[in-house]
């Protein structure tokens, strides 16, 4: 398999970059009156304005040709059909099946996965309904008031992000908390003010073999049994979400209270299935299903829309444009919604665990730079922290701005509602990033000549603006599906397997090897390496 960088389509983009790199967005807009109208696309309820990109129609044409060369259409079809596109683990990649409607049909490896998916959703809905209504009680007969999700990575970030995003829809008086870190401070802080009689633990782990999760779960179980004085309490206060029934049973959780999923769902793609149980308990099964319908709307758009009008394809290809041709290393994601505070962290796992690879699917080294570094904070907080660098720094940081037309709730402040102020900030930032402010404009304001250069805003900094009617379960599903498919598009162009994560394994094994060294009578002389051994010895001295 030839590397994509050797293709004529890649060379054409490299050539095009040399002509466009010196062109300012101010010039692109003044030469093209219809640009803002034309360079926009809708998918589901999402509206994307991509006119503030250092790109022309020709750029899009060349990027779409690159996608054709990489076989993007065939890869999309292969994913949706359940082919084993996760080659290093020989698995299908079917998170899209988690949101297929009940009457759809999809047979994978001889199994009707839609029936399986809906059987689990129905079991979740039944359980969530019983917890919400108070029919499911704790060991002492009291209703559940707090659900604690114990999981990490994909078994934490997705449900934690979505619970916060949709907290306005939590209507049953049940709150959720999320414990992930093996740092004892995490579980201590979470349990400190909880009533054991009214707390339900969801142990969420695809493998049910993850150190952090099992350790936290054991601590939680001991806390519960100690408080309620009876081992039998565990079955009323612990349920599991996993693909591994044997290990769930081994831990002491009744597999009747286990919610399953399948090896064709990657952890970072899983909160729209059973891993979303805490979310479903908080917002209810109907809202959860609205979220799934939102995911599905974008799946259908991605599967069927022509690439030139396909939102995930355009955003993925523009990511390639900056990452591989402009040398940008990161992408900022800036939601203008406090409720989406965890969205950048969620996207970090989704994008970086998926595309942080340096070999292609066939095992050959990649030539292009892969793996955009995602980061971000909600606006307007970020504006008062790191936007200085975005506006005037020497690095190019493409950014995705996400805004909502309707707040869940608003307050009046002087003449403007708070939400309008928030949106005005979003719009001002993208405009300032694109068009900046010239030395002439600054001097014309009477600025002292010595400081004019300090105040120059270079502009020419590219952004996407995603405008959404309102943050709802459906639009959250749409946003997440959008980024899932952006990851897919980029992975296909780079020719990598976006669905494995071998790079996290070595550290896990070494931690297990090192743990005994922290307490054994003989500290290591130079294992696993002299620097680490010296740190072990110092740690032991500090621990006393």
- The residues assigned a catalytic role are 353, 384, 508
CB of 498 to ligand F6P, least distance (A): 12
User: Alpha carbon of 167 to those of 146, 190, 253, 271, 470: distances in Å?
Assistant: 14, 18, 28, 16, 14
User: Which residues between 190 and 219 bind ligand F6P (CB under 6 A)?
Assistant: 205-207, 210, 213
For 119-122, the CB contacts below 8 A with 24+ separation are 120/259, 120/260, 120/261, 120/273, 120/274, 121/273, 121/285, 121/289, 121/292
x/- contact string, 288-307, with ligand F6P (CB under 6 A)? --------------------
Among 82, 138, 143, 154, binds ligand F6P (CB under 6 A): 154
CB of 154 to ligand F6P, least distance (A): 3
Question: How far does CA 221 lie from the centroid of its chain?
Answer: 30
Report if residue 436 touches ligand F6P, rule: CB under 6 A.
no
Among 138, 267, 316, 524, binds ligand F6P (CB under 6 A): 267
DSSP type of residue 364 = P
CB of 353 to ligand F6P, least distance (A): 6
CB of 70 to ligand F6P, least distance (A): 25
Count of residues touching ligand F6P (by CB under 6 A): 14
- List the Cα angle 151/357/321 in 5-degree steps: 115
Nearer to ligand F6P, 267 or 459 (CB): 267
Among 31, 385, 413, 504, binds ligand F6P (CB under 6 A): 504
- CB distance 373 to 330 below 8 Å: yes
Report if residue 138 touches ligand F6P, rule: CB under 6 A.
no
DSSP type of residue 530 = H
CB of 213 to ligand F6P, least distance (A): 5
CB of 215 to ligand F6P, least distance (A): 12
- CB distance 489 to 317 below 8 Å: yes
Cα(224)–Cα(230) distance, rounded to whole angstroms?
Answer: 9
DSSP type of residue 176 = E
Three-state DSSP at 354 gives helix
Among 501, 517, 524, 536, binds ligand F6P (CB under 6 A): 501
Tell me the window of 44-52, 149-157, 165-173, 340-348 that interacts with ligand F6P (CB under 6 A): 149-157
Cα(245)–Cα(203) distance, rounded to whole angstroms?
Answer: 12
Report if residue 149 touches ligand F6P, rule: CB under 6 A.
no
Report if residue 180 touches ligand F6P, rule: CB under 6 A.
no
Segment holding 314, helix H or strand E: helix 311-320
Report if residue 354 touches ligand F6P, rule: CB under 6 A.
no
- CB distance 204 to 239 below 8 Å: no
Report if residue 113 touches ligand F6P, rule: CB under 6 A.
no
Name the residues that contact ligand F6P, by CB under 6 A.
152-155, 205-207, 210, 213, 267-268, 353, 501, 504
């Amino acid at each position: 398999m030839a590397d994509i960088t050797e293709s004529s389509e890649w060379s054409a983009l490299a050539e095009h970059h040399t002509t466009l790199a010196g062109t300012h967005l101010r010039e692109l807009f003044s030469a093209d009156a219809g640009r803002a109208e034309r360079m926009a696309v809708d998918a589901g309820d999402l509206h994307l304005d991509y006119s503030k990109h250092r790109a022309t129609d020709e750029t899009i044409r060349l990027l779409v040709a690159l996608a054709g060369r990489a076989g993007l259409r065939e890869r999309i079809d292969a994913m949706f059909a359940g082919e084993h596109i996760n080659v290093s683990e020989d698995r299908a990649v079917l998170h899209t099946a988690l949101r297929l409607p009940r009457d759809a049909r999809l047979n994978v490896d001889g199994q009707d996965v839609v029936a399986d998916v809906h059987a689990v959703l129905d079991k979740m809905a039944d359980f969530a309904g019983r917890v919400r209504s108070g029919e499911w009680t704790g060991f002492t007969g009291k209703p559940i008031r707090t659900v604690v999700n114990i999981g990490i990575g994909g078994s934490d970030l997705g449900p934690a992000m979505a619970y916060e995003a949709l907290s306005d829809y939590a209507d049953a008086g049940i709150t959720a908390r999320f414990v992930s870190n093996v740092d004892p401070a995490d579980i201590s802080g979470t349990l400190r003010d909880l009533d054991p009689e009214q707390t339900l633990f969801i142990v969420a782990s695809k493998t049910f073999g993850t150190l952090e999760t099992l350790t936290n779960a054991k601590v939680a179980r001991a806390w519960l049994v100690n408080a309620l004085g009876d081992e039998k309490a565990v079955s009323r206060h612990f349920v599991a979400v996993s693909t591994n029934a044997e290990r769930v049973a081994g831990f002491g959780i009744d597999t009747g209270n286990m919610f399953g999923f399948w090896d064709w769902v990657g952890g970072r793609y899983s909160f729209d299935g059973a891993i979303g149980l805490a979310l479903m308990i908080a917002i209810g099964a109907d809202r959860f299903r609205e979220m799934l319908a939102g995911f599905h709307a974008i799946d259908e758009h991605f599967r069927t829309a022509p690439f030139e009008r396909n939102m995930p394809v355009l955003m993925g290809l523009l990511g390639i444009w900056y990452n591989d041709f402009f040398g940008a290393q990161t992408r900022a994601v800036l939601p203008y919604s406090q409720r989406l505070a965890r969205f950048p962290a969620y996207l970090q796992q989704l994008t970086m665990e998926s595309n942080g690879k340096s070999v292609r699917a066939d095992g050959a080294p990649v030539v292009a730079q892969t793996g955009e570094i995602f980061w971000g904070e909600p606006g307007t907080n970020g504006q008062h922290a790191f936007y200085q660098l975005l506006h005037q720094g020497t690095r190019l940081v493409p950014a995705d701005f996400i805004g909502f037309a309707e707040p869940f709730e608003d307050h009046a402040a002087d003449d403007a509602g708070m939400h309008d102020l928030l949106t005005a900030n979003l719009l001002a930032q993208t405009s300032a990033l694109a068009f900046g402010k010239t030395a002439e404009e600054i001097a014309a304001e009477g600025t002292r000549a010595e400081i004019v250069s300090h105040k120059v805003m270079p502009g020419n900094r590219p952004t996407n603006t995603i405008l959404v009617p309102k943050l709802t379960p459906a639009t959250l599903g749409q946003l997440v599906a959008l980024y899932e498919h952006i990851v897919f598009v980029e992975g296909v162009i780079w020719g990598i397997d976006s669905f494995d994560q071998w790079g996290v394994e070595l550290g896990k094994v070494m931690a297990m090897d090192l743990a005994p060294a922290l307490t054994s009578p003989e500290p290591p002389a130079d294992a696993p390496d002299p620097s680490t051994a010296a740190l072990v010895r110092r740690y032991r001295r500090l621990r006393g």
